[in-house]
Amino acid sequence: MLIDVCMEKDSLWKHEFVDPVQRAAPGSRVVHMSDVTEQDIGEADSIIICGTALMDNEYMKHWNDFGWLKRTDVPVLGICAGAHIISKIFGGSICMSNEIGMVEIRVTERNDLFRGTFHAYELHNSAASLPRGFIALAESDKCLQAFRHASKDIYGVLFHPEVRNTGTIARFLEKKKKDGPGGI
């Protein structure tokens, strides 16, 4: 399941930030953040919380709608705004940090989604801090770029893998298939 966090359902931003993720995750169902139910969460075998436009901060008014993150055993990947949501729900904070365009990312902790140093597309005015109980996975010169929950299959990436690093999405989904529900 893909969660669209854009301000409005079926907005132009959805076509920019959600549709490319859906192309990288064929067969996935898109649900707008305002329509997500506990049943949707329970039926999903994986969840990707998509990003949104640079100036769209509507999702920040809906932190409480994502409390299910603390209870789920389903693998979750948060992209940009999705990483902000994951950080905030687990006690982290959001800080100003602007990056636009291709940025060098350095992997700081071995993980299953990416390795070494790579370039990724960035489009953000803010970054997420590392919440307690999470492990930093990658960074840029400006900020934390990726993190993972220490015991749950919950990942956050600040970069947009749907633009130039679709392998990150594929590896997230492939690990879920190989290890089964709840296991990356």
Q: Contact 74/94 with Cβ under 8 angstroms?
A: no
Catalytic residue, chosen from 99, 122, 139, 162, is: 162
Q: Confirm whether 95 is a catalytic residue.
A: no
Residue in this structure with the two tokens 């997230």, named with its chain if needed: 172
Q: How far apart are CA 147 and CA 78, in angstroms?
A: 10
Catalytic residue, chosen from 32, 84, 124, 160, is: 160
- Taken as a whole, the chain contains a residue count of 184
Q: Confirm whether 62 is a catalytic residue.
A: no
Question: How many Cα atoms occupy the beta-carbon half-sphere of 64 within 13 Å?
Answer: 1
* Beta-bridge partner residues of 123: 100
Catalytic residue, chosen from 6, 50, 80, 143, is: 80
CB atoms within 10 A of CB 168: 24
Q: Contact 133/146 with Cβ under 8 angstroms?
A: no
Q: Confirm whether 8 is a catalytic residue.
A: no
Catalytic residue ranges: 80, 160, 162
